[in-house]
Amino acid sequence: MNAAASHRLYAFIVLDPALGLRRGELLALKWKQVDWEAGTINISERLVMVGSKLTELDGAKTESGTRQL
């Protein structure tokens, strides 16, 4: 982690193994989903590849995919 501390994607590098997010969930994260006071992140959106383009989808793939970590 120390080696990646100055990398521009450091937050992703830390969050991915710590929370076990899927790639699309991680890439769809927005600041509005972070509750600093409660110390939680709401996972409610995802990005998917449609052809050769990334497309944002509201809602998770399954009901259990929408969660608070």
Q: What pLDDT, on a 0 to 100 scale, did the predictor assign at position 36?
A: 92
Q: What mean pLDDT is predicted for residues 64-68?
A: 68
Judge whether residue 63 has pLDDT over 80: no
Three-class DSSP category at 68: strand
Cβ 28 vs Cβ 45: under 8 Å? yes
Tell me the Ramachandran region of residue 37: left when phi exceeds 0, alpha when psi lies from -120 to 50, beta otherwise: alpha
Q: What mean pLDDT is predicted for residues 26-41?
A: 89
Q: What pLDDT, on a 0 to 100 scale, did the predictor assign at position 11?
A: 82
Q: What pLDDT, on a 0 to 100 scale, did the predictor assign at position 27?
A: 84
Q: What mean pLDDT is predicted for residues 20-35?
A: 86
Average model confidence (pLDDT) across the chain: 81
